[in-house]
Structure 1
């Protein structure tokens, strides 16, 4: 796939998928109305803002890397041509899903709404099942030894503190 097409496809994916999952659905659940903060303190709301702000760069960077470095998109119908193992992908294999989860949980804390926390748990469960049943086997078939090495060195969900360096 040519880079301009990959960038356009990734931009469309960003607007359609993560923006809907981390923006439209939380709005639909809460109408972004504040409830009493968790634990009765504004500190939980501040943590929520921090999580939202922390999740955005990981999401944008991951999608950008798929287009610019991988010459593809995050969508299974137009996958990358090369395995992306730079940026946040050096710390964790699924930074895009983790970024979206962080944004969802941040909104749950900000708005004091348990429904968003439950939605975040459901989102993670669906992502985990998708990763183990489709994504990892597909990446293994496409990138064989390169993906195996990456898989053995970079955790699926809990980020490693030091970035992995490809041999």
Structure 2
């Protein structure tokens, strides 16, 4: 039995959705405690961009989660992946749920007029890569082999 089969999922020890939440709290804290960054985008544009990012993030999350539901899989990365999902939104990005988390963090930052929250999006995504994506990719390579490697070559990690 391979290590991937024994552990039943990727070696992810911290729930990735908490990372953007921490980014949100830290960003708002920096705004409140340290100093707010000047916001160059006026209110109506900020709300339009933030609203579009919010809608896009929610849509992306629901579409990706729907594919897991359709295939009877659990989206939690530490759970077993009995089937490789490479259809729907997964034809364009290997990580639509994590991408949606970044969009949602940026949207909330814009809507709250906190550029710190927006500025911390790349940090949140880098942390998600470190704690989840690299472990998921190793697990999927071991579990699915060549089909996953071909998928990985043809579909970008983000966009």
Interval of TM-score (by shorter of Structure 1 and Structure 2): 0.7 to 0.9
Q: Distance in 1 between matches of 2:105 and 2:154?
A: 28
Structure 1: gaps of 5 or more residues = 1-15, 159-167
- Contact 2:106/2:121 (CA < 8 Å) preserved in 1? yes
Aligned residue among 53, 56, 72 for 2:55: 53
Which residue is 1:149 aligned to?
150
- Contact 1:66/1:74 (CA < 8 Å) preserved in 2? yes
RMSD after superposition: 2.8
Q: Distance in 1 between matches of 2:62 and 2:53?
A: 15
Superposition TM-score, scaled by structure 1 size: 0.70
Which residue is 2:7 aligned to?
none
Aligned residue among 4, 24, 27 for 1:26: 24
Which residue is 1:107 aligned to?
108
Q: Shift of residue 132 of structure 1?
A: 5.3
Q: Deviations over 1:32-80 (max 9, x none)?
A: xxx89821412123101110011101111212212321x3212233232
Q: Deviations over 1:65-105 (max 9, x none)?
A: 12321x32122332321001111101011111001100110
Decide whether aligned partners of structure 1 residues 25 and 40 sit closer, same or farther in structure 2, where only a CA change above 3 A counts. closer
* Aligned partner of residue 38 in structure 1, secondary structure: coil
Q: Shift of residue 25 of structure 1?
A: 6.8
- Contact 2:27/2:120 (CA < 8 Å) preserved in 1? no
Which residue is 2:70 aligned to?
68
* Aligned partner of residue 85 in structure 2, secondary structure: coil
Q: Distance in 2 between matches of 1:78 and 1:157?
A: 22
- Contact 1:45/1:111 (CA < 8 Å) preserved in 2? no
Structure 2: gaps of 5 or more residues = 1-14, 30-35
Q: Which has the higher contact order (CA 8 A, sep 6+)?
A: 2
